[in-house]
Structure 1
Amino acid sequence: MYGLLDDCRRQPSAATPSILHPTAAASNNQKEKKKKKSSMPILCVILVLMLSSASSISCCTEHERNCLLQLLAGLSQDGGLAASWRHGTGCCSWEGITCGSMKNDGEVAAVTDVLLGDKKLQGSISPALGSLPGLLRLNLSHNSLSGSLPSEIMSSGSIVILDVSFNLLNGALKDLPPSSSASSRRIQVINISSNSFSGQFPSGSWEKMESLVVLNVSNNSFTGPMPSFFCISSPSLAMLDLSYNHFSGSVAPELGNCSSLRMLKAGHNSLSGALPEEIFNATSLDHLSFADNDLQGVLEGAGIIKLRNLVVLDLGFNMFSGNIPDSIGELERLEEIHLSHNSMTGELPPALGSCTNLKALNLDSNYFSGALGRVNFSKLSSLKALHVSNNSFTGTIPESIYTCSNLNALQLSFNKFNGQLSLRIANLMSLTHLSLAENSFTNISSALQILQSSRNLTTLLIGGNFRDEEISDDETIIGFENLKILSMENCPLFGNIPLWISKLRNLEMLFLFNNHLSGSIPVWICTLNSLFYLDLSNNSLSGEIPAEITEISMLRSEKVTSHLDMKNFEVPIYSGPSPKYGTISGFPAVMILKNNLTGVIPTEIGQLKALLSLILGCNNLSGEIPQTILDLTNLEVLDLSNNHLTGTIPADLNNLNFLCELNISNNELEGPVPTGGHLDTFPRSSFDGNPKLCGHMLTQNCNVVIIVEAPQDPSRQGYKVTFAIAFGVFFGVGVLLDQLRLWSLLS
């Protein structure tokens, strides 16, 4: 059934992309963009009525049949349609075709719906579809169709709903011919999102679409100023999605004339300047998003108070400054506030506590200060996500937060919070993600005892706290059974890697770097079968790399199958003297073991097929580079530097086709650097500090014979001297006899 109708019936489910609910960019567009989905129940009711208006009949005209066969002829992959669309059968029985009783200029027009979404179609869209006289709904979404969008379809006199989203369509949209301007007024829904359309968005005859209700052009490559003429020509326009394009310039003040507009999304473009005051005249708005642009200015309280129907406010990733206005507390319907990554300052207004329907508050990466407790969170019983990281909040965690029983994500990292964790944090029974990193919390033993009762925790980030404390191997810690990410980096903590971590059988990522942990790497680490990211670097661990570490099941598989759902939650990445934080979305399989480890690299290392990054540098490892490393065919980063490795560089290292970073410097390797592959592209610094290595990228050329004097064995030195004297005497006597013979002959 048509995707839009399905979405309307399933509201508020967000499982299926639709015209009203665009999802992330299609993979076939090779874009990695995320989009939020919003419910539009009134529009759904309208569209369901439209979809149910046609009654089924059993035949179609020869003209309609030919038009559909022209579509089939233009497909290089038909998804099995040819088997259904057989000659000699009525097209009303064909797959994806619906017929109804309608009349147009006295002719019975049977075909009302062409619904071929997600059929694995490839090829072009036939202009003949625009000639179907009774076509109301055309859905070709979620395929791999390419080429342009025929202007004949846009100028159709009958189409009401057009959805070609999530394809490979490209080129510029054309202005419609003057003859089609009157007929195009019927169209109500246009969804061309998630394609590769480019150029400026056309105006001209597009302004004549007086019935337009929904326009979604998101996730394309449109340039130039953002279109705004719809607010004048289309008084019923309720949804306008321009996000994920390359629109530039200022936000059009004309958008304030859209009296029926409920959803305005223009995020992820290159818009600049301030939000015009006129935009706050669009008082029907319930979703306003200009995220990830270059907008600036302050959020005026007099303007924001006009949007009393607002449910979602998303202005994150811009350059807004100033305070959050007190008037925001009067927006009683507000459910989401996203102001992260701006330059906003000041203390939080207590009025935020009046937004009693608030579900998500994201203020990350600003310059807010003061006590978080200025907001009475006990009134926010619906709050599910609170993100205030990377600010300058002070004091302790306010006790009122612990009354938010629905809270599942609490992100307080990189602030100036202090004190010990409260026992009341156990009241947050729904908590799954907790980030307290880089504050000044104390008493790690107490914190772990308290947090183990949070049975639903999947992510725990507490690094950068508990300065110089000892992490005890407390056997009474038996919780954290659902934990998938544990981060206790950069404290620095003393002691051994605690045994209780061995009980975390669902653990996928473990960050313990930048501490003072000692002892050896425990062999029980192989029991963490889901582990794919392990960073133990910059500690004082000693001993050999245990061969058991190569038995971790996840790392032995060909591909990591993580079950993490982190969205925008951040986790630490060590990339220098201090950690950086990044999102989980693209985390590879990694093993980082920079310490004081000795012995050889285990030959079993080649079993870790999933590894994309192997960093064993800055240890005291010896022996040769094992040939089994060549079995790590997915490897992108290999660091074996600053060890005591000997022997030659394996020639087949050139066969690691994905290797883009290599560092084997400062070892005792010898012989030529293998040539004729992508090892030739690595810089000299990858091989420096190995005096016996030679190659064109090094100062030592392999064509020069290197004479290395070996130490002399004293026991053989006397033998060599005796042999030299004897040889000299023998040679001298021989010469003398030759001279005597020559003299006798001459005489």
Structure 2
Amino acid sequence: MPILILLPLLLLCCGVGNVHCSKVHDSSIDLQSLLDFKQGITNDPNGALKNWTTRFHFCHWNGVQCTLEQPWRVWGLQLPSQSLSGQISSSLGNLTFLNCLYLSYNNFVGPLPLLGRLQQLQILYLDYNSLSGIIPDALTNCSSLTAIDLSSNLLVGSIPPKLGLLSNLGYLNLESNQLNGEIPQAFFRLSSLQYLSLELNMLGKALPPNIGELLPNLKELTLEHNKFGGFIPDSLGNNALGLNILDLSYNNFTGRIPPSLGKLSNLTFLSLQVNQLVASNNQDWEFLNALRNCRSLEVLSLSNNELQGSLPKSIGNLPTSLQQLLLGGNSLSGQVPQSIGKLSALIKLGLDKNNFSGTIAGWVENLKRLGKLYLQSNNFTGPIPSSISNLTQLTLLNLTKNGFEGPIPAALGALFSLMKMGQGDLPVFLKIPAALGNLPLLQQLDLSYNNLEGYIPQNFGNIQGLILLNLNHNNLHGDIPDSLGTLQHLQKLDLSYNNLQGYIP
């Protein structure tokens, strides 16, 4: 997920005007602090600290920035993506003029350094290391902090309540750690917070009902893969009106999806998948109508919840900007509304693992930009419409485990490549090129467990890249085409449970 707010912060951190490159005056405190940091490095494969010797003034050392006025002091320390190993010395806490500490994407281990004396520190990026232990309370003494990124480490324990004292904090990323407990109430004092990511931790309990009032400036809120529960607060839609990314997936949220989310006019990404959200009547589905006001919405994922009954026709009223609509793994039934064909910008549609019935003709051919279509494990019937082959942007197609019947469209012989994503019941996908005139290089084709009938098309023999062909459990009849004997790369052929005759070529 793009973190748009990072760019201006990094520009502040790396501004050329803050680097001193002329003859400078020594500062023994800063020098010793940097030497202590170097001593804690156990491996420097890229030679990032090669010029960290007393032959050069420390303001000329790689990754070190100094103030422009005497006495010259260390203003920034930036050594990202250098494959440095070792521990981060707490002596960095003596660099009292330090404004930016940027050591991301290295191999640092051990606890977070004690930096509580750094009253001028604004930017702290230690993400993508292997730092462990707790987040120390002393960090909250760095009262000028505007951005903290400690993501993708091994941090444990709870979020310190004193983080709520960092009144200037606009960016906080603690994702991909092992934090537990609940978000402390004091944390919600951070009214200037714009970006908050706590995903992939073990945090739990309910969000405060007034979270949108307490954090009104939020633009991105990502809490997926935790243990949060309760209702999704209405205040997120009523008060945090600047939200453009909201990801609450893989939690334990219950109840209805609040229609107030439709007030988020800047919303581009909404993922609520893998929760226990319900919808079974008109009132529960009101949020669909409300989301039509989110004119910039591109992704809507509601898969693996407890949505039941017929999919409302109002699905077609969603913004025409919508590119991904994921509804798989629910208990939706009945026919797919024809109105879904109005979502002309869709490139990914997931209706898999529901109880949909009827045919797919009448709407699927209207989704001209569709690249990925997941229809597996439903009760669809009727023929596979040959119009599917006219969706020239289609790259992934899954039709397995339905009740499709009739002949296999000869047009399927024009498919380009099919990728198997796993074993057993995991889906198998067909890949089609943008230009169907290319020679077919289909690798794996699985149309098993349907009610397909008729002949195996002769032009399947043109699919010279075919490795797997599985047509079992259908009603195919006639001779097995001789052309299959030309498939030199074929490793697995399953034509069982049909009415075919003749010999395997």
Shift of 1:126: 2.7
2:328 aligned residue: 413
Which protein has greater RCO, CA pairs closer than 8 Å, 6+ apart?
2
Count of paired positions: 452
Please point out which of 400, 403, 427 is paired with 1:489. Answer: 400
1:305 aligned residue: 213
What's the RMSD between the two structures over aligned residues? 3.8
2:319 aligned residue: 404
Q: Indicate if the aligned counterparts of 1:595 and 1:619 stay in contact, CA closer than 8 A.
A: yes
The separation in 2 between residues aligned to 1:544 and 1:458, in whole angstroms, is 25
1:289 aligned residue: 197
- Give the match's secondary structure for 1:104: coil
The separation in 2 between residues aligned to 1:528 and 1:509, in whole angstroms, is 20
- Give the match's secondary structure for 1:208: coil
**Equivalent residue letter for 2:266:** N
- Give the match's secondary structure for 2:235: helix
1:314 to 2:222 alignment = yes
Residues 419 and 547 from structure 1, CA distance in 2 versus in 1: closer, same or farther, beyond 3 angstroms? closer
1:263 aligned residue: 171
Please point out which of 377, 390, 394 is paired with 1:479. Answer: 390
2:286 aligned residue: 374
Residues 318 and 128 from structure 1, CA distance in 2 versus in 1: closer, same or farther, beyond 3 angstroms? same
Q: Indicate if the aligned counterparts of 2:179 and 2:202 stay in contact, CA closer than 8 A.
A: yes
Please point out which of 351, 367, 372 is paired with 2:260. Answer: 351
Q: Indicate if the aligned counterparts of 1:378 and 1:400 stay in contact, CA closer than 8 A.
A: no
Residues 530 and 269 from structure 1, CA distance in 2 versus in 1: closer, same or farther, beyond 3 angstroms? farther
Shift of 1:306: 0.5
Q: Which deviates further from its counterpart, 498-507 or 293-302?
A: 498-507
- Give the match's secondary structure for 1:493: strand
Residues 386 and 173 from structure 1, CA distance in 2 versus in 1: closer, same or farther, beyond 3 angstroms? same
**Equivalent residue letter for 1:402:** N
Aligned runs of 1:27-106 on 2, under 5 Å?
Answer: 36-40=2-6, 42-43=8-9, 46-47=12-13, 50-52=15-17, 100-101=21-22, 103-104=24-25
Aligned runs of 1:99-138 on 2, under 5 Å?
Answer: 100-101=21-22, 103-104=24-25, 122-123=46-47, 125-126=49-50, 128=52, 132-133=56-57, 135=59, 138=62
The separation in 2 between residues aligned to 1:222 and 1:53, in whole angstroms, is 29
**Residue identity (%):** 25
1:193 to 2:104 alignment = yes
The separation in 2 between residues aligned to 1:136 and 1:264, in whole angstroms, is 31
Gapped regions of structure 2 (runs ≥ 5): 28-43, 65-70, 426-435, 498-502
**Equivalent residue letter for 2:16:** L
Shift of 1:157: 6.7
Please point out which of 393, 398, 401 is paired with 2:307. Answer: 393
1:464 to 2:430 alignment = no
The separation in 2 between residues aligned to 1:484 and 1:273, in whole angstroms, is 42
Shift of 1:299: 1.1
Aligned runs of 1:208-219 on 2, under 5 Å?
Answer: 208-219=117-128
1:452 aligned residue: 365
Give the alignment's TM-score, normalised by structure 1: 0.54
After superposition, the C-alpha distances for 1:99-121 in whole angstroms (9 at most, x for unaligned) are 84454269xxxxxxxxxxxxx97
Shift of 1:230: 2.6
Residues 420 and 600 from structure 1, CA distance in 2 versus in 1: closer, same or farther, beyond 3 angstroms? closer
Shift of 1:480: 0.6
- Give the match's secondary structure for 1:261: coil
Shift of 1:304: 4.2
1:324 aligned residue: 232
- Give the match's secondary structure for 1:301: coil
**Equivalent residue letter for 1:470:** G
- Give the match's secondary structure for 2:362: helix
1:166 aligned residue: 81
Q: Indicate if the aligned counterparts of 1:230 and 1:237 stay in contact, CA closer than 8 A.
A: no
The separation in 2 between residues aligned to 1:617 and 1:505, in whole angstroms, is 20
The separation in 1 between residues aligned to 2:82 and 2:442, in whole angstroms, is 37
Q: Indicate if the aligned counterparts of 1:483 and 1:504 stay in contact, CA closer than 8 A.
A: no
Q: Indicate if the aligned counterparts of 2:413 and 2:440 stay in contact, CA closer than 8 A.
A: no
The separation in 2 between residues aligned to 1:526 and 1:40, in whole angstroms, is 44
Please point out which of 146, 156, 160 is paired with 1:252. Answer: 160
1:242 aligned residue: 150
- Give the match's secondary structure for 1:128: coil
The separation in 2 between residues aligned to 1:547 and 1:530, in whole angstroms, is 11
Residues 544 and 44 from structure 1, CA distance in 2 versus in 1: closer, same or farther, beyond 3 angstroms? closer
- Give the match's secondary structure for 1:197: strand
Shift of 1:487: 0.9
After superposition, the C-alpha distances for 1:242-268 in whole angstroms (9 at most, x for unaligned) are 111111111211211111111111111
The separation in 1 between residues aligned to 2:227 and 2:391, in whole angstroms, is 39
The separation in 2 between residues aligned to 1:460 and 1:242, in whole angstroms, is 37
Instruction: Judging by fraction of residues, say which structure has more helix.
Output: 1
The separation in 2 between residues aligned to 1:604 and 1:201, in whole angstroms, is 63
Q: Which deviates further from its counterpart, 531-540 or 349-358?
A: 531-540
Shift of 1:502: 3.6
**Equivalent residue letter for 1:170:** S
The separation in 1 between residues aligned to 2:173 and 2:18, in whole angstroms, is 30
2:67 aligned residue: none
- Give the match's secondary structure for 2:369: coil
- Give the match's secondary structure for 2:221: strand
Shift of 1:617: 6.8
Q: Indicate if the aligned counterparts of 1:253 and 1:279 stay in contact, CA closer than 8 A.
A: yes
- Give the match's secondary structure for 1:441: strand
Residues 425 and 303 from structure 1, CA distance in 2 versus in 1: closer, same or farther, beyond 3 angstroms? closer
